Amino acid sequence: MLTLTGKSVFSGVAIGPIQFYKRPENIIKRYHIEDIPAEKKRFEDAKATALQQLHELYERALGEVGEGGAMIFEIHQMMLEDLDYCDSICNIIESQKLNAEYAVGTTSDNFSAVFAAMDDPYMQGRAADVRDVSERVLGILTGVSASTAGLTAPAIIAADDLAPSETVQLDKSKVLGFITRRGSASSHTAILARTMGIPAVVNAGDALDESFDGHTAIIDGFSGTVYIDPDPETERLLREKKRQDEERRALLLELRGEENITLDGRRIQVYANIGSPADVGAVLQNDAGGIGLFRSEFLYLESDNFPSEEQQFAAYRRVAETMAGKKVIIRTLDIGADKKADYFGLEPEDNPALGYRAIRICLTRPEIFKTQLRAICRASAFGKLAVMFPMIASLSELQQSKAILAEVQEELRSEGLPFDPSLETGIMIETPAAALISEQLAKEADFFSVGTNDLTQYTLACDRQNQKLEPFLDPHHPAILRLIKLAADNAHREGKWIGICGELGADPALTELFLAMGIDELSVSPAMVLPLRKRIRSADLHKLSPELLAPYQL
């Protein structure tokens, strides 16, 4: 038995075989072949498998993001069946007597170059699709696939680290949990695991070797421990812990339908955070009062190209309709830093967390922003949506964002497309600057939601991605709590509400303090909604010392 210790990102116990996450090797071997029909058959077989995978992805995406979002997989299937594309591959195999991998790689380069050189931006976009489809076939031919698409049975995913875009594409129905050698507990990958309710341990160290592929592992998400090839006694103990955890969660379900009210009668909204329409099931199951943070950028990360207005509209509408009149706060695109998608063409930066991200991208590439705002506004006719801008650091950024929103609403009005004209418009308080000028911002925003993950990173000057800084990344630091209190006071002075949607909102050690500060809403991962409700229902604000808030007064 090997015991590894890392950082837990979601409590819970997972038991199952390890499967290593593989990324494609971009080096394509070129070698001569003798048996041409056999090599062509290798390609045909790989193509058939790829078509099957794309069909399954289409079905899954249809359920998760609707027809608009699923369409890309249909296009990929069509591309893979394109006669010119297939002829080119077979021709290279036949005339040059070269292997299928080389033929696919070369055809991919040639065809994508042709598309990229076209004038029409739509056709240029197809270059990425050709590469994507070809990567899939290459992955099948070489046995090195960039995903867990080949997962046939539930497994624990192991990796060096996972990017948010990779995590979001995991087949959640088959992922029991995941372990990474590196990574920090406040990264977006960790947040996704929490949202998905998957036991996960990050930063488990180099002993997590690929030779353990297929071996049984147990993740103890309570202690951040991973046991590989567990001995019978450890397995027995952990199975018992798993059973108890499941029992505790079942008990919590009895709190469904109950109010989020303290013993002395103070009510607070408890909402949930999501990354995709697929998470709405967990939101409803855990009885959240609404969605306090829809990280819309994950729609972009799941995609190979900019999601169109229709694709986004379908996703937002589905969430709005499913939530049936409960509030859904859609945060506009927060791409950049650790959340990257190739098609944005973002340049490498020395300090990505302090870089070109979120609202900064939206305000300088308004065509991207407007497409998203149009989709959100159109979906607002189907439920109770609110929009929220990330990474605001100045009043003018909020004013510019609102001006673009107003422009979009005017366009929709003139096109006769319905939307909710009273759409609430809020901002994230996640830069110290925003907290410090919250007095002005509160006059222009309908609400605030504190992003404690970034607020902590920027206030303490600690990169949230850097695992070495975790001992210094103290989210209870009085500087952060003071900024939250300041923002809360300023919001309330203007009659606006304030919530917390960063991970700190779920910290039971701070629940009473947040209630005492007058925080109106806490938005947490779906699995934390009921534990938080339990915590609130046992709080008694009357019993708190009047001095509780004194250290946080600015």
Two tokens at 520? 């109106």
Set 86, 90, 188, 377: catalytic member? 188
Order across the sheet with 7-10: list the strands.
Answer: 2-5, 225-228, 216-220, 13-20, 155-159, 175-180, 200-202, 7-10
Task: Rank residues 131 and 295 by Cβ distance to Mg ion and give the closer one.
Answer: 295
Q: Between 287 and 306, how does the x/- string for binding to ligand PEP read (CB under 6 A)?
A: ------x-x-----------
Q: How far apart are CA 22 and CA 6, in angstroms?
A: 21
452 binds, among ligand PEP, Mg ion, none (CB under 5 to 8 A by kind): ligand PEP
Report H helices in 335-415.
359-364, 366-379, 395-415
For CA atoms 220, 226, 228, 230, the dihedral sign is negative
What's the longest Cα–Cα distance across the chain?
A: 85
The verdict on 297 binding Mg ion (CB under 5 A) reads: no
272 binds, among Mg ion, ligand PEP, none (CB under 5 to 8 A by kind): none
* Active-site residue flag, 462: no
The verdict on 454 binding ligand PEP (CB under 6 A) reads: yes
Region near Mg ion per CB under 5 A, out of 53-61, 68-76, 79-87, 422-430:
422-430
The verdict on 502 binding ligand PEP (CB under 6 A) reads: yes
**Among residue numbers 132 through 191, which ones bind ligand PEP (CB under 6 A)?**
191
The least distance separating Mg ion from the CB of residue 547, rounded to whole angstroms, comes to 32
The least distance separating ligand PEP from the CB of residue 295, rounded to whole angstroms, comes to 5
DSSP, collapsed to helix, strand or coil, labels residue 360 as helix
Task: Rank residues 80 and 337 by Cβ distance to ligand PEP and give the closer one.
Answer: 337
Set 362, 377, 462, 501: catalytic member? 501
Q: How far apart are CA 148 and CA 169, in angstroms?
A: 9
**Among residue numbers 530 through 549, which ones bind ligand PEP (CB under 6 A)?**
none
Task: Rank residues 191 and 218 by Cβ distance to ligand PEP and give the closer one.
Answer: 191
# binding residues, ligand PEP (CB under 6 A): 11
Q: How far apart are CA 448 and CA 262, in angstroms?
A: 23
Q: How far apart are CA 520 and CA 39, in angstroms?
A: 64
Q: How far apart are CA 177 and CA 222, in angstroms?
A: 13
Report H helices in 182-231.
188-196
Region near ligand PEP per CB under 6 A, out of 308-316, 380-388, 447-455, 468-476:
447-455
Region near Mg ion per CB under 5 A, out of 28-36, 133-141, 446-454, 470-478:
446-454
The verdict on 503 binding Mg ion (CB under 5 A) reads: no
In 3D space, the residue among 524, 19, 461 whose CA is nearest the CA of residue 268 turns out to be 524
Q: How far apart are CA 164 and CA 338, in angstroms?
A: 7
Q: Which helix (H) or strand (E) holds 235?
A: helix 232-252
The neighbour count for residue 162, using CB atoms within 10 Å, is: 26
Q: Cα angle at 393 between 357 and 298, to 5 degrees?
A: 35
Report H helices in 271-341.
280-285, 297-301, 309-322
| Amino acid identity, position 171 | D
Conformational region of residue 145, where left means phi above 0, alpha means psi within -120 to 50, and beta covers everything else: beta
In 3D space, the residue among 456, 482, 455, 485 whose CA is nearest the CA of residue 469 turns out to be 456
The verdict on 451 binding Mg ion (CB under 5 A) reads: yes
Q: Between 320 and 359, how does the x/- string for binding to ligand PEP read (CB under 6 A)?
A: --------------x-------------------------
Which position among 279, 430, 446, 503 is part of the footprint of Mg ion (CB under 5 A)?
A: 430
Region near ligand PEP per CB under 6 A, out of 61-69, 95-103, 126-134, 448-456:
448-456
187 binds, among Mg ion, ligand PEP, none (CB under 5 to 8 A by kind): none
# binding residues, Mg ion (CB under 5 A): 3
Q: Is 240 exposed, middle or buried (0-12, 13-18, 19+ CB in 10 A)?
A: exposed
Task: Rank residues 130 and 450 by Cβ distance to Mg ion and give the closer one.
Answer: 450
Which position among 39, 220, 279, 454 is part of the footprint of Mg ion (CB under 5 A)?
A: 454
**Among residue numbers 403 through 432, which ones bind ligand PEP (CB under 6 A)?**
430
Task: Rank residues 446 and 454 by Cβ distance to ligand PEP and give the closer one.
Answer: 454
* Active-site residue flag, 501: yes
Catalytic residue ranges: 188, 501
Residues found near ligand PEP in the complex (CB under 6 A): 191, 293, 295, 334, 430, 451-454, 501-502
Q: Give the footprint of Mg ion on this chain (CB under 5 A).
A: 430, 451, 454
